[in-house]
A and B are shown apart, each in its own frame.
Chain A
Amino acid sequence: MDRRTFLKLAGMGSLTFASACTLESEKKLYSLVKNQDDMVSGKANWYAGTCRRCPAGCGVLAKNREGRVIKLEGNPLHPVNRGKLCIRGQSGLQAVYHPERPKKPRIKQDGRWQALSFEEAIVRLAEKTRSAAARGKNRVRMLTCLEGDVCMGLFEKSMAALNGTAPLVFEPFSHEHLRTANQAVFGVSGLPSYRLENADCLVSFGADFLETWLSPVEYARRFKAMHAYADGKKGRFFYVSPWRGLTGANADAWLSCRPAAEAVICLGLIRQVLARKGSSGISTQVARQIRAVCQPYTREKVIEFSGVDPSGYDQMAEALLRAKDPLILGAGTLGRGRGDLQANIAANLLNFVLDPQLGKIDFTRRHRAEKAAGYGEIAAFFDQLAGNPPDVLLLNNVNPVYALPPEMDTSGILGSKQMFTVCFSNFMDETAQRADMVFPVSMALESWDEYGAYPDLLSFCQPAMKPLYGAPQIGDVLLRIAPDGTFENKDAKQELISRVQERWGISDTGAWLQAVRAGGRFEHAEASAGASGPAVTTAFQSWFEDPSELIRSESLLFAALPSVRFFDGRDAHIPWLCEIPDPVSKVAWQSPVLMHPETARKYGVRTGDGINLINRSGAVSAPVYETRYIQPGLAGIQAGQGHAVPGKYSGGRGANPFSLFSLKRPADAKTAFYAADPLRLEKSGQRQKLASTAGSMDPHGRKIALTMTLSDLAAPPGPEKHGLAMHDFPLTLPMPEGYDAHRDFYPPHDHADYRWAMVVDLDRCIGCSACAAACYAENNLAVVGEQEIINGREMSWMHIEHYQQMDRPDQPIFLPMLCQHCDNAPCESVCPVFAPHHNKEGLNNQIYNRCIGTRFCAQNCPYKVRRFNWHDWNWPEPLNLQLNPDVTVRSKGVMEKCSFCVQRIKTAHGHAKDENRKIKDGEVIPACVQTCPTGALVFGSLMDADSRVSKLVKDRRAYQVMGYLNTKPAVIYLKKVVHEIR
């Protein structure tokens, strides 16, 4: 090559090199010439609404920045959740911004999807429905998820106008057994609410009130009101079930029993109670029948049938008899099979026998979920569809193809050519795949609606942002497709306004605005309480049957287990919910088969082995996960995953336990139920690495997650510790007084005005992982995916560690772990460039721009809470719209970690400065603290002598994880209080 070409090439080379070095930055900057009146750049607006991720109906506040909702928080005024949200509520946003959310309606033409404009879609649909309506009765049918009264009213009206019957409400978790049981015992076909807070002894026969049962956030709060240590007392909680999920993990004792044996145990308890306490306050004839029912269940029989541990059973019976205010909860949400119905009936009877006034059951404050149709009705509905298909079928946000047993062939029925199936859905789930038209309607955060968790509770949904893709809300669609003149109001919002006016008497604009701003009308929602239960009928006997087949079943039985993350499967596609591991199994992204080690040994499999579970209904394949938290002879899979749809997050992940169930329908349709037939287990041959984030759950006797018994607390405090070894090292606060010449080599250092610290009460922590989800949302944490979690690269700043209790390996304990903001943080001094350092308010800063990625800080962190960006993680559009503009998005090669939500601290500083005062205690609330349903986390400054943290760290239970390393963590833990083992 000649000199010129050489120079050219050289020049090019250096140019490309130079350009490669430039950091890519935003190309354009836009400024709003005309701003919306309520939008100030950099300032957030909050809109009250209602969470619709499950029927519980918690109140939310949506944080809107520059026109986009970026964070959900609980509405403090709302009576259901009092400002708290669960992991699903926190993740709700990702359903709105989900990359796979359809942007436009689509219609299936000869097997291929074609996009339509919303207007077109409505017009086409209107044609179909009106012509169908003209063709006769019930040519238009509708199946909907649980909606608010106003919306349901609108549906009914427009269905009536289309001369069809009222829409059927389909909720996979309909709590039908509980409803039927209430009917059978109390003559009330509904779902009353339970006053856990008033109980001092709680027994649950599988009711998973911390995962999916009725209203998890509300019951978590009520549960901790009775079960958290307060003035020397702490209620007792027994969990009777073949498996131990999150709820069971929070029980003082878990009584493992044979599947469907709960009723037997409950009847045994009734027998003992009657024997001991007699039947005062119960009408003699009712009492006689109860006696008759529970007569055969002597202690021995119970133990024989249920296989429950005798001493545990006696302890529970004893505690129950001694209790002043006992409360019994029946079977769990996923209760399947006849046994659960009996368990619920027996539980009702036991409640009645223990307290004939039923003072702790509130029949006036009934859960909306009771409005869902029963299994029988659903089955009948699909039979009709099969037998006499209507012309048009409207499906509103339901996924029967996933949730119903395969044998019901919902997929075939919906696929049938005769009817035009329209799916109002925001995700192309199994059902949507089979529809003829998919109509993505606006979601709760984008539309005007109302959803009251209880009768006469007014709780609004309002648009917290412009509908992402300009979709109309379903109300408007039904209003349009109904024959003209059906509605006097021009749109759903008007409809809402007039209904609210009729029913809640909110007529003037002022009251309306007030209600909308507050999120609803909550005053008298609390009032209705104390009304005693209705008279007990005697309709219950017929339900009980001979349990002796229980002990005969030798084959492998199956159970679908409730999941705090996926609920009924509608949330399986949400990245955060996949990424945050299940708090008990600590497995993310996957749904393995839970199996007792004995069972695994019996079938010659071990954790990680792929197996196929087969019965006459269907088959699933999943890896084995050995755990002692399940009854031997039983295999369980957490519900929610295993979707047979394309999709980055839910597609083909995990296994769907529902596909192993079949519909059992004895003579009368009202008692229909689902049950899984015994299984055949086949090894699939290949092994799968479990995406578990837990190295070991055994604390190895280390000072990590500690417990204290009530008697320890009753006893006078022992002598002050001042040793240097792990277990006799004192509490050393991250304050000058925490330093001591014989322990510390270096002198203490002072802080300016504040020393931020957090107190974590392990006695209150239920491990629900809502804090983790809140952190993902607030701090722009990346979702790394299944493989990277297997590689050990999850990015969670705040996670729940699941340990066995040190002196009781059979008992779990949850430990929220986050950056400890140590006063002598080992991570700081090893960094060559000062990226981590101690700031004047005691925070352990991490300066991303300064970090060069030596990773020494993470190596040197005893708590392993530092997270490294192994790659550039991505937020597929439009998930990026959720990113919090106050928090940097970290690029590859830098270290990151919990910052105590420093952006919130800065905001508080701003306000304090404006009003030229100091920051008040409780003014700074990190995202995790904000959402904790049980108030286990408290944040504040240790330099403020009367801040709550300053008071709490004086508690006898206060300690620091691995405190003997003398890093002086600013996260102080309070030991979990446990009951003595007798």
Chain B
Amino acid sequence: MEKLSFAEIDNTVNATLEPPGRMYWTVVALLFCGVLVGAACWGWQILVGIGAGGQNSPVNWGTYLINFVFWVGIAHSGTLISAILYLLRAGWRNPIARAAETMTVFAVCTAGLFPFIHLGRVWMVYYMLPVPNQRTLWPNFQSPLMFDVVAISTYLIVSVLFWYTGMLPDFAVIRDRAAGVRKKIFTVLSLGWTGRYEQWRHYSRGYLLFAALATPLVISVHSVVSWDFALGVAPGWHTTIFAPYFVAGAIHSGLAMVLTLMIPMRRIFNAQRIITMHVLESVAKTIVFTGLIVGFAYATEYFIAWYSRNSVEMEVFAFRSTGDFALQYWIMVICNSLVPLLFFIKRIRTSILWLFAISIAVNIGMWFERFVIIISSVARDFLPHAWGDYAPTGIEYGIMLGSFCLFFFLFFLFVKHLPSISMTEIKELQHQAGTHD
């Protein structure tokens, strides 16, 4: 990464906060309409019942939980980049850490909606909260869904706090350069941060601990999500590889999403000198790694099914790759474990176009991975007489559209109103680079 003066860094980042143009607001408005569409669909579903969707017996879970797992997955690489790579002192994570963290926060928010959308009686959802009640009947903490409640809410709280703490010094920077209302707002947000070394000493320590805690958390959260399935008896679900398999998958999809977001962002904010090709390349390399893990997991599933000699397991997996959902299955395999291998070629992993295309492919592939896992197992489980089929309805597509719009809506608001690149961390990076050479 070429030498950048602190001032240049500040300028680049503060430039992103210049009052946005009409184009921007048009996009934001469109996204908001998308959100409204999703909300309307949900309203309709609450009115007429879950039957508005395509779920049935035996396929009682549909796109809602697919999207839930998908978005939780997206969230994960944010924490990976901001926490795990921080602990590993991987310098290339600094330029994208902030955006990735933001992605985490918004993805968790989006994901958090889906369990509600999925519920048959969402108005009774408080039964899942451990609140004292006159029946003295509490939630069942043996249920994987209660693990979810605990894990996801913890994850949301932690990632929000982590996010805010990380932004504190940057708020101060903006405060010092801003004027008028913006100055007032950022004065409040920055909590009077002055960069005194008395502050730095607690801050650095606290931030390190944050990272140290977020790391086990992020791994536990997606393990818990995987146990929603692994603790079930359905063939193809009831397996011990699910936790690592899901965590890897989550990071896989998350990194892809990071690329999908970063590539346009650096272009629009011409932050090419901060989010350098080196950074994107490093992400691509990591994607190759996670892709290989995921591919390995796919293979393992088949091996274990064969090795078990259990006809039910074997038939479910035969069905996955050859049955009604074979198309989805092969999309998953190709997009997740084969396409990323192209990143072995330097020319491809350093070409913006390729990076972007492949990141999209992986996103699609990971969505279908969740589809294959959630739908195909129950569609062909133990009693052949109960076998069934599944196809999403318009309502479900509407809600899915709404969820994507919500995510990008929030992200768009963020990039123009908060520092989407961590100035402090870039400065540290520069400083280290400076001291080392």
User: Measured between alpha carbons, how far is A695 from B58 in the docked complex, in Å?
Assistant: 10
User: Measured between alpha carbons, how far is A853 from B55 in the docked complex, in Å?
Assistant: 12
- One digit per residue, 1 when the CB lies within 8 angstroms of any chain B CB and 0 when it does not, for chain A 755-775 equals 000000000000000000000
Contacts of A830 in B (CB 8 A): 143-145, 231-232
B232's partner among A801, A860, A895 (CB-CB below 8 A) is: A860
- One digit per residue, 1 when the CB lies within 8 angstroms of any chain A CB and 0 when it does not, for chain B 142-171 equals 111110010000000000000000000000
- One digit per residue, 1 when the CB lies within 8 angstroms of any chain B CB and 0 when it does not, for chain A 846-867 equals 0000111111101110111011
Contacts of A833 in B (CB 8 A): 127-128, 139-140
Of A257-265, A478-486, A700-708, which stretch is located at the interface?
A700-708
- One digit per residue, 1 when the CB lies within 8 angstroms of any chain A CB and 0 when it does not, for chain B 43-83 equals 00000111100111111110000000000000000000000
* CB of B386 within 8 Å of the partner chain: yes
* CB of A791 within 8 Å of the partner chain: yes
* CB of B353 within 8 Å of the partner chain: no
Contact A860 B234 (CB under 8 A): yes
* CB of B307 within 8 Å of the partner chain: no
Contacts of B10 in A (CB 8 A): none
Contact A893 B121 (CB under 8 A): yes
Contacts of B51 in A (CB 8 A): 788, 791, 793, 870-871, 892
Contacts of B231 in A (CB 8 A): 829-830
A802's partner among B54, B385, B389 (CB-CB below 8 A) is: B385
User: Measured between alpha carbons, how far is A696 from B387 in the docked complex, in Å?
Assistant: 7
User: Measured between alpha carbons, how far is A791 from B310 in the docked complex, in Å?
Assistant: 30
* CB of B315 within 8 Å of the partner chain: yes
B56, B118, B119 — most chain A CB neighbours (10 Å): B56
* CB of B197 within 8 Å of the partner chain: no
Contact A793 B56 (CB under 8 A): yes
A704, A793, A831, A852 — most chain B CB neighbours (10 Å): A852
CB-based A-B contact count at 8 angstroms: 174
Contacts of B20 in A (CB 8 A): none
Of B285-293, B327-335, B375-383, which stretch is located at the interface?
B375-383
- One digit per residue, 1 when the CB lies within 8 angstroms of any chain B CB and 0 when it does not, for chain A 838-852 equals 000000000000111
* CB of A697 within 8 Å of the partner chain: yes
Contact B378 A859 (CB under 8 A): yes
* CB of A834 within 8 Å of the partner chain: yes
Contacts of A791 in B (CB 8 A): 51, 54, 56
- One digit per residue, 1 when the CB lies within 8 angstroms of any chain B CB and 0 when it does not, for chain A 780-807 equals 0000000010011110000001110000
The secondary-structure label for the interface of chain A is loop
Contact B49 A869 (CB under 8 A): yes
User: Measured between alpha carbons, how far is A719 from B233 in the docked complex, in Å?
Assistant: 29
* CB of B384 within 8 Å of the partner chain: yes
B50, B58, B383, B387 — most chain A CB neighbours (10 Å): B383
User: Measured between alpha carbons, how far is A704 from B139 in the docked complex, in Å?
Assistant: 35
Contact A862 B383 (CB under 8 A): yes
Contact A851 B232 (CB under 8 A): no
Contact A859 B127 (CB under 8 A): no
* CB of B120 within 8 Å of the partner chain: yes
A868's partner among B120, B309, B384 (CB-CB below 8 A) is: B120
* CB of A515 within 8 Å of the partner chain: no
B233's partner among A826, A867, A892 (CB-CB below 8 A) is: A826
Contact A726 B128 (CB under 8 A): no
Which residue in chain A gives the minimum CB-CB distance to B58?
A864
Which residue in chain A gives the minimum CB-CB distance to B126?
A852
Which residue in chain A gives the minimum CB-CB distance to B142?
A829
A853's partner among B121, B144, B310, B315 (CB-CB below 8 A) is: B121
Q: How far is the CB of B124 from chain A (nearest CB, A)?
A: 5
User: Measured between alpha carbons, how far is A859 from B235 in the docked complex, in Å?
Assistant: 11
Contact A829 B140 (CB under 8 A): yes
Contact B385 A803 (CB under 8 A): yes
Given contacts A700-B315, A855-B120, contact A832 B149 (CB under 8 A): yes
User: Measured between alpha carbons, how far is A868 from B50 in the docked complex, in Å?
Assistant: 9
Which residue in chain B gives the minimum CB-CB distance to A799?
B385
Q: How far is the CB of A705 from chain B (nearest CB, A)?
A: 9
* CB of B388 within 8 Å of the partner chain: yes
Q: How far is the CB of A675 from chain B (nearest CB, A)?
A: 37
B145's partner among A700, A802, A832, A871 (CB-CB below 8 A) is: A832
Contacts of A872 in B (CB 8 A): 49
* CB of A698 within 8 Å of the partner chain: yes
Contacts of A21 in B (CB 8 A): 123
Residues 352-391 of B contacting A (Cβ, < 8 Å): 378, 381-389
User: Measured between alpha carbons, how far is A700 from B312 in the docked complex, in Å?
Assistant: 9
Contacts of A863 in B (CB 8 A): 382-383, 386
User: Measured between alpha carbons, how far is A871 from B56 in the docked complex, in Å?
Assistant: 12
- One digit per residue, 1 when the CB lies within 8 angstroms of any chain A CB and 0 when it does not, for chain B 104-120 equals 00000000000000111
* CB of B7 within 8 Å of the partner chain: no
Contact B139 A832 (CB under 8 A): yes
User: Measured between alpha carbons, how far is A694 from B387 in the docked complex, in Å?
Assistant: 7
Chain B interface size range:
35 or more
User: Measured between alpha carbons, how far is A965 from B145 in the docked complex, in Å?
Assistant: 22
Residues 228-259 of B contacting A (Cβ, < 8 Å): 228, 231-234
Contacts of B146 in A (CB 8 A): 832
Q: How far is the CB of A641 from chain B (nearest CB, A)?
A: 24
Contact B382 A869 (CB under 8 A): no
Contact B232 A695 (CB under 8 A): no
Q: How far is the CB of B296 from chain A (nearest CB, A)?
A: 27
Contact A894 B57 (CB under 8 A): no
* CB of B185 within 8 Å of the partner chain: no
User: Measured between alpha carbons, how far is A201 from B383 in the docked complex, in Å?
Assistant: 34
User: Measured between alpha carbons, how far is A818 from B58 in the docked complex, in Å?
Assistant: 15
Given contacts A700-B311, A851-B120, A869-B120, contact A695 B127 (CB under 8 A): no
Contacts of A792 in B (CB 8 A): 56-59, 388-389
Contacts of A834 in B (CB 8 A): 137, 139-140
A829's partner among B143, B315, B382 (CB-CB below 8 A) is: B143
Contact A859 B232 (CB under 8 A): yes
User: Measured between alpha carbons, how far is A61 from B240 in the docked complex, in Å?
Assistant: 55
* CB of B413 within 8 Å of the partner chain: no
B385's partner among A697, A870, A894 (CB-CB below 8 A) is: A697
Which residue in chain B gives the minimum CB-CB distance to A693?
B385
Given contacts A852-B121, A853-B121, A862-B233, contact A704 B383 (CB under 8 A): yes
Which residue in chain A gives the minimum CB-CB distance to B382?
A862
Which residue in chain B gives the minimum CB-CB distance to A826?
B233
- One digit per residue, 1 when the CB lies within 8 angstroms of any chain B CB and 0 when it does not, for chain A 891-917 equals 011110000000000000000000000
Q: How far is the CB of A874 from chain B (nearest CB, A)?
A: 12
Which residue in chain B gives the minimum CB-CB distance to A789?
B56
User: Measured between alpha carbons, how far is A355 from B121 in the docked complex, in Å?
Assistant: 67
Contacts of A894 in B (CB 8 A): 120-121
B383's partner among A817, A832, A895 (CB-CB below 8 A) is: A817
Contacts of B60 in A (CB 8 A): 855, 858-859, 868
User: Measured between alpha carbons, how far is A699 from B385 in the docked complex, in Å?
Assistant: 8
Contacts of B384 in A (CB 8 A): 695-700, 702, 704, 803
* CB of A962 within 8 Å of the partner chain: yes
Which residue in chain A gives the minimum CB-CB distance to B379?
A695
Contact A817 B120 (CB under 8 A): no
* CB of B125 within 8 Å of the partner chain: yes
Given contacts A832-B139, A832-B140, A871-B51, contact A965 B121 (CB under 8 A): no
Per CB-CB distance, the 9 closest pairs between chain A and chain B, nearest first, are A853-B120, A695-B387, A893-B120, A870-B51, A864-B386, A792-B56, A892-B49, A696-B384, A855-B60
Which B positions have Cβ atoms within 8 angstroms of A? 48-51, 54-61, 118-125, 127-128, 137, 139-140, 142-146, 149, 228, 231-234, 309-312, 315, 378, 381-389
Please name 20 pairs of A and B residues whose Cβ atoms are closer than 8 Å in the assembled complex, sorted by A.
A693-B385, A695-B58, A695-B388, A699-B384, A725-B310, A793-B56, A817-B385, A829-B140, A831-B145, A834-B137, A850-B137, A852-B128, A853-B121, A855-B120, A856-B143, A864-B381, A870-B49, A892-B121, A893-B120, A893-B121
Sample of 20 more A-B contacts, CB < 8 Å, known A696-B385, A829-B140:
A702-B312, A725-B309, A726-B312, A792-B57, A792-B388, A793-B56, A829-B143, A829-B231, A832-B127, A832-B146, A850-B137, A852-B122, A856-B145, A858-B60, A859-B378, A860-B232, A863-B383, A892-B50, A893-B49, A893-B120
